[in-house]
Amino acid sequence: MSLRIGDTAPNFTAETTEGTIDFHQWIGDHWAVLYSHPADFTPVCTTELGRTANLKPEFDKRNTKVIAVSVDSVADHRRWIDDINDTQQTTVNFPIIGDQDRKVAELYEMIHPKASDTVPVRSVFFIDPNKKIRAMITYPPATGRNFQEILRVIDALQLTDNHKVATPVDWKDGDDCVILPSISDEQAKAQFPKGWKTLRAYLRLTPQPNK
């Protein structure tokens, strides 16, 4: 059965470049981003892993751990990291899972036969501290991911959890938010002291509550 938003993220034990992990224990009380790569020593993946390392302070601010997976060995990953650090002018500072048996790739349905029978597509799973899958994004192997969008999704998910708002089209941190339709105007007065603009009864815009 396909994984869906709201499902518990499947747990696994795996070897990584930072040692053996139990995935759920590794997440702990953090958010997590699990994302796949088609193969080691490939150009797009090299740029993505370098970007991840450079963005570690941004992920840390969001209480988020990042972990990558590729269907190659940990030994290959370690050799590849030297190239990533050199070409992307960074230091890889997060684990990469060795998945030669494709256990993780198959558990998370990362291999799409119409794209490739042997290597994963570029899957991204956003997982909350309760180990629930909160969002998923899938890219084809030739398309590099937009990591600003990955950060934006984390911001939106955490904002909704903490402040009972939704995020409208093209929202980014600091923009106005949408008050959930399930919240009455009376309830909104207490929850949103900055007020709101009513465009329709179901469409009320309010300044971002935590700004």
Catalytic residues: 45
Question: Helix, strand, or coil here: 136?
Answer: strand
Distance CA 68, CA 105 (A): 11
Q: What are 209's two structure tokens?
A: 């509550």
Neighbouring residues of 76: CB distance < 8 A, sequence distance ≥ 6: 40, 41, 98
Phi, psi dihedral angles at 185 (to 5 degrees): -60, -40
Contact 16, 96 (CB under 8 A): yes
Tokens of 134: 């909160």
For 77, residues 6+ apart whose C-beta sits below 8 A from its C-beta are: 17, 40, 70, 96, 98
